[in-house]
Structure 1
Amino acid sequence: MFLTRIEINQRRRATRQVLANPHRMHGAVTACFPRSVDPGRVMWRLDEREDGVFLFVLSSLPPPDATSLVEDYGWPQFESPWQSKEYQPVLDAVQNGRQFQFRLRANPVRNVLEPANDQVQAGNSGSGEVRRIRGKRVGHVTVAQQRHWLLTRASRWGFTMGDENAPSADVVERKVWTFAKKSRTVTLSTAVFEGILTVTDQGELRRRLLDGFGPAKAYGCGLMTLAPFSSP
């Protein structure tokens, strides 16, 4: 696995357009890989920080050529407009009991049950069929809801981040995206989490680091990055 970082030039008009549309950015990331090559699951995340805007891409192969993405949205005049590093050292460092600083952009959602259009009330037709119910994903939009979403999933994902009364991580950014995808409009609620986690199940956390956390991975959610943490 490889983690690639590409600095984005947010002053360019084309960049402002792609930054506002995760579907378009997904297409730009996918275009880094030729169709003849299978990079496996590809996850990406945009970080808008004080020192710049950075695109992170995690793939089983380093992008063989990010030239088109850099020429359209980056800084092509620099000698090394993108950098790729092997991801295995990060996975090897994930050991039970270790603490890490982390950053994650996620799509916190809940499933709301609602009747299906073709529902059949039990007994209505005399067939004894049970009413069919389907779940609809609804995004959490408040900080409290989003924090609770991650806290309640942390243990099954192989880590802890404190509890409701004293969490060791919190929401540092949240946004509701509305963008076009083909002939329909997509609305997506995202939250960026930052803080300290403690590894409780190294195997599960390693697997999640590769597979992603939560839904909407094609739209820049689910990629967690780790950095070493030492208690003061």
Structure 2
Amino acid sequence: MRLEGKVAVVTGAAAGIGAATAALFVKEGARVVVADNNLEQAEKVARGLGENALAVGVDVTVASQIKRLIAATVAEFGGLDILVNNAGYGIRGSVVNTDEEDWDKVIDVNLKSVYLCSKYGIPEIEKRGGGAVVNISSTAAVCGIPDRAAYVAAKGGVASLTRSMALDHADKNIRINSIAPGVIWSNYYEKMLKEVPDPDAFVHGLKARAPVNRMGTPQEIATMVLFLACDESSFATGGMFTVDGGYTAR
């Protein structure tokens, strides 16, 4: 029970990495707020986790809603120890053919959300004597990806922001790290399978990106989130931990 007595907020927790993280946290003794813009799905996840989980519908790009999220967490569970900034969103496009509105949305969901959740979450973590923030970045933070300009920029920003945040709050016993997942099987890819002309070739191409010749699972990323959130990683802060099956080692 590595998180016994801890309270965590996980954004983008209605599916994928967020849902897997919420489930693992509860298993390890934490009380968890399942935060997502899809309240119906968030409630479904929370129900499956029992009395130690609370669903909150939230748009992570709106400050007033983040304030409400943090307030609901403190009201329900008494404080906040761990913040996992997992909410993310991506689109296709180079800088030339990405509309400004789409650019802003990608930056807001992936990067501004980290700023807002941390702005209002970190003071509550400080009240508890310290804790951890884990930001989900991407291998896109270190490797360019064609036709993904906004997403690459946003995830690169998450990695850089993490380092700055770690320095700002180290003296408060708040450790802040990021994770760079590789290709992780998710609802996003399930939807894409319905759109591509050759699903088998599409899946083969995804697997081939990693030397281990497979995609990762949300549970594998959740395990790294748990490590960075618990006391076992007490000397780790300001780092970006890559979990990508060897993709960036090439």
Say yes or no: TM over 0.5: no
Considering fraction of residues, name the structure with more strand. 1
Q: TM-score with structure 1 length normalisation?
A: 0.30
Considering fraction of residues, name the structure with more helix. 2
The higher relative CO (CA closer than 8 Å, separation ≥ 6) is in 1
